[in-house]
Structure 1
Amino acid sequence: MGDWSKNLGTLSEDALSRLAEMLDNPTRGWRQLANTVNEHPQLRCSESELTSCSVQVLSPTGSPTRYLLARLADRSCSLALLLSCLKKIDHQHAVQYLTATVMEQIHITVQPQAQQGLEGGRVVLTCRAAGPAGLSYQWFRGKEQILGDTGSAADLVLCPLGPVHQGHYICRVNHGENCTFSQWAHIRLGRSENSSPGCSSTLFPGSKSGLCITRQPRSQTVTEGDTLFLECHAEANPPAQYHWYHNMKELQHQKHSVLRIPAMTTAHRGQYSCRVYTLFHETWSNPVKVHIATDKVALLIGNMNYVHHTQLCAPMADVHELANLLRQLDFKVVSLLDLNWQEMNSAVTEFLLLLDKGVYGLLYFAGHGYENYGNSFMVPIDAPASYTSDHCLCVQSVLQRMQERETGLNVFLLDMCRKRNPNDDVIPRSGPLKVTANIVFGYATCVDAEAYEVKRDDLNNGIFISFLKQRLCEDEKVTVMLDRVAEGMYYMGRCELMRGRQALELRSNLSERRALTDRIQNTESCTDNSTRNLQWAIAHVLPKSRKLHFECGVQVQIGFAAEFSNIMIIYTRILEKPQEIVSCSAELIDFPEEGVDLDLKKSNQESIIEAGSLLPIMENMPSPQSPSLYTRLKSLQRLKTELTFSVCVHYRYSNMEDEEVQETQSVTVGKPLVSKLNLHEPRLPRSSSADFHSFNAPETSLYAEDLGPDFPSSETLSFGSASTTWSYYSQAATEQPRSNSPTTLRVNIPEENAIAELMECPPQPLTSSQSLTQSQITQETSRFNDPYNFHSY
């Protein structure tokens, strides 16, 4: 059977083109498919995207369906979901073709494994595949095919084992002209019975029998509720016996070569090893660690509007893109724009309190930065002109605090320059990092180099994120995914303009396969997860939409949408007005002078673009057909009191059109979004190893009505105060380039040739906003040909 869970992007180009031919019609075609797909929020297409589909017909080789399928593939639409949508629109021809195509695909179900054997012994490599009937197998050692019946079976038997058999093996599975390859498996000989790892010491010196482990168990990360499988196989005469141990304690009834533990919980994590023995010999497998992925949290910071340094543009779009993609992967995301030192320090401190054993933690920073003596520093927006490490946050210090939480994975993505800071000669002493094999650094550029962004209309995109967003959702080990990002950046770097300017650097000690796509299944019995989820839910509560009734008979609605965790859009619209009133509008006035950043010239605008937002905010917004006025509030993390403002209604009566009347009502909406965290307040020193739910802090109670309709209205929820926990919001963003150097490199490319047009990652409908679109990277590096559109960070 075919693998229907795969992304539709795994279909061949021929298959996608054939589907496009079938659906490029007005009756039962791509428009009907798009309408059906829109029933799934994660796949919903915007009006602008549907318009882009339509205009494909203007190109001789354009296809609306092909464009739509590409958008769905980027949203991780599965083959099964596509099939379901095709059935709903009753396109039998496409259903039959897709079914036949998927069923004919070849999928490796059992991969050959690296093994070690003794000379004269026996090793078996196994490859199994699912697919259409009549699959055939071909084995290769390196580039040399293994001929005869031995090399054309699913099991490759190497016996008697000798030096000639050492090397790397791979299996090709064929069906007609279609084929797929297995992973590589390395075969090596044991040095001797007494010295090779996994081979026994002889209990009875006179015995000629041997014992050698040929397949070692592997460390892995599993999700709560999953089944754990560990394998240990040995060559022995007489046959070997097995006994498994957990944290050096014997596991009763686990006496087979395969250890199987169903429904894993956090109690099952730890070290496992297998004792292998015969009557004459005994040996132990390599110890392996099993981790439970208990949760995934991310903090994204984008600094743009620096007080004393070059203003940046890309962080806003970059953080927005990354936040949406990480939410697709079940990360709890807090994204914040334009933080000063105190706010950055408080945000990181609160973020660390959400980490715990097994949690995946990701921190992304876009802004100015530098690197001295191997330590990286993130620069806040209030850093003085000649800043030092005292004015910045040290990445290595943050990482050390993360490791104290015993996280399952620590990922740092630093989209900033790494030039040396001549004003800072102090060698930081953050202490040695633990050897935990769970650290991944993704630097947007190399040591002593700058990072760049590319200007596109009013939005800038960093080169790093432009490539990262195409790979982030791939189900691959983190380092493998970042390697592919690096390859894409390297390819672009071959053009003359970018050569030697920016290339991704990856540092990692990640020895296990841990992916950002690892599934998380929180259980209700897990107190840590329940507390963390509750805090995050509270942190995402927008003020309730409300209706205001004025004495003149006008009814006004005010509503709220989150652009980022610290940026909120407020809209007003007229719901009802008496017939004698000929014109009417509702504006917001009297905002506090301190605590929020508001551009009065851009308040009460007819579109969110005119209000200063460059991002398409979809949810919680009125329909475009409903006339509304929009106001954008920034820097909510600095709000110290409840947000209060006024709604002013301007109207004219039919019998006195020349005279405008005003009526005002005051509105208080509490502390919205991240303002509840009080990031402006200093955090008291405390051990980051303490549990985030165990502080002896004053308690704050919120009634369930503050949480919205998804929470019981009769319950009161208590948790640590905002000064010690992420008690409240998570949805912010970022804004411009990044560097401690005043150098700027610009490239003014015509719009149709801009880099953003070459890099594709369509919108992801998440929370209150959608991702930005960018076109697919092509091999046309010659398009980077004008030295005026690049900015250094």
Structure 2
Amino acid sequence: MGEPGRGAAGALPLRRLAQPLLRRLSELLDRAVPGRGWRDLAQRAGSRGTVRLSPSDLEQCSLKVLEPEGSPSQSLLKLLGDRGCTVAELVELLQGLEHTEALQCLSLAGIKIVVQPDSQAVLAGQVVKLCCWATGHPFVRYQWFKQEKEIPHGTSPELVLNPVNVNDSGFYICRVNSESSFVFSRWARLEVCDVQGASHEGFIGLPENKLHICIQPQLQNLTVGDALVLECGAVGNPIPHYQWFRNGFPLANGSKNIYTVTSVDVEHQGTYWCRVFNDREDQDSEKIEVIIEELSDLQEPDLLERSNHRPVGLLYYAGHGYENYGNSFMVPVDVPNPYRSANCLCVQNILKLMQAKETGLNVFLLDMCRKRNEYDDTILILDALKVTANIVFGYATCQGAEAFEIQQSGLANGIFMKFLKDRLLEDKKITVLLDEVAEDMGKCHLTKGKQALEIRSSLSEKRALTDPIQQTASSAESLARNLQWAKAHELPESMYLEFKCGVQIQLGFAAEFSNVMIIYTRIVKKPPEIAVCRAYVTDFALDLDVDPKEANKGTPEETGSYLVSKDLPKHCLYTRLSSLQKLREHLIFTVCLHYEYPGIEDTMDERKEVNVGKPLIAKLGLHHGFKTKNCLQTCCVANNPFHNQMESSPVASQYYIPSHCQPNSCPGVYHPNRMCAGNIRQLEACSCSGTSRILATRHEVQNDSRPVGKSNVPVETTDDTVELEFLLSNSLRFPEQQQP
């Protein structure tokens, strides 16, 4: 399709180019390096016989430098245009000069996509046509992609899928090339609905592209704890959107064709249906009943699970600790200063609790210091432990010594865990595995002579961490505990907020730990009449640890979140909330929207209050003993990333005190919860494998209130069109940027 257009585009007279484009080309030629300037262009034009230029013509162009706003290049381009030079001929001359900047300017101005591909939902077996038509000079070529992969033979303006099948579902884009540059079409989403066991007869006679529901939700009879999955499928062009309802009310996380609840309770019972709509019409699915039954007997025979192994007790701890008189103590992050054994958890007491459960194997992996606490002279008299076998202690360091961390790019990892995680899944006797970890640690020059793994064991059987472990019975206690654990990992449902100005914002959530949550926001719809809009979250309860200067950041790492950053959707603003166990009431915060209209200097503001209930571990109400704080902390405008872009110097934090708070109830400027360390030494700088790192003891890093350690995969992720446009466009541009 490119060749026929070549003649028409190539014949475009140079004088027909818009004046702004001609001025831009003139600027590039005027300041070009020797060999690519206007004189070189004139010489090449004359040598190729494209246009006859006399010495007086060149002198006339040269004298333009004497005029205040004169341009020799602009004068030359006018001469070339007046004498019949075409755009295609100018492109060939610039290619000869290898003036890529001018070629790119000319090509981008010349390519224009006049027909964009449409997103649509279709039935499997139909014929689907995606269209992308463009004009440009000297001519254009097409290449279709499905996500980031080129489609073989997809080099025409029309991409035909005949017949289409479910594997063709996905996102499509077309790249339009000229001689020296390219542009992309918009993304087109193709949904292919496969109705099992049904023919297309029911759809014969329907108007083309009409919205039609082809998959209806089905009646559900469930038991508490089961997963609820409701599906609705529709075809149509424009592509259908979905909104699920329960008992007449829209569901916050019900904007996809499949609605799921991972673990249902009786509150999820009700009448469900889905509304399907696009820009032209809407339809409601059939209404179905979801019935939830409670378990009548927790000891039903079919719930019993048998195993040849007895339960296992496993404790892994990474953090500050100490050892006095043979007893090891784990130090919480909010202990007073100085702290004593009464403020800490005794490892030997935990072992006693494990033995009471008649565990068959007890493993303690303690990544902490074992130095004496000089402020604690208490001698604990503990009840004698049972004489039982199969107890293994893996201490990160020897008695009286410190345990170290490597800190790099804001992420800390204990030396012990650094080597342990490389062998954790090996099917070896646990003492053998720990011996090999000790040997690995011994080869690390960072900690030689400072830290060595100590192993204590009373193994009487060959036991490994990879042994299959099951409970002997699913007791009422264990089921209740599992239910509590599941509740502690429930995230708020993703939601979309509509503002009066027409802007739509997505609000999503992810878990880094059971007490640490990431909130991410992004703008998914903006009316064309709004020039700029920005959104951020603010007004969090002071029960939570939220540093306003680390909120509403462009990357998760800027908020202090490293463990789940790769799993979060891109191109959002991220805010990290920690200490959710202290949250006494529902989590309520504000989403602020700032937007501007063209030609108006004033910034408009809208605010929406959001209540997401008690997320993650806050559901369990583990807040006893914490002091109540009634005022709010605000991730304020002065410190949000958009205002930082406008200010040349940092701005001090500002805090918003709501009207219901008395001035004396606010403790002043908020700082994250920090612990005072007794004797904090200067961090020791080291290098490992050529990379600059910081080596610090567990005692030294206790000032950092952010939890670092085990990973927790986010429950909620997003795969909508906006995110994929950013991700896939970047990956598709890369090969082009590598071209000479």
Instruction: State TM-score, norm by structure 1.
Output: 0.42
Q: TM-score, normalised to structure 2's length?
A: 0.44
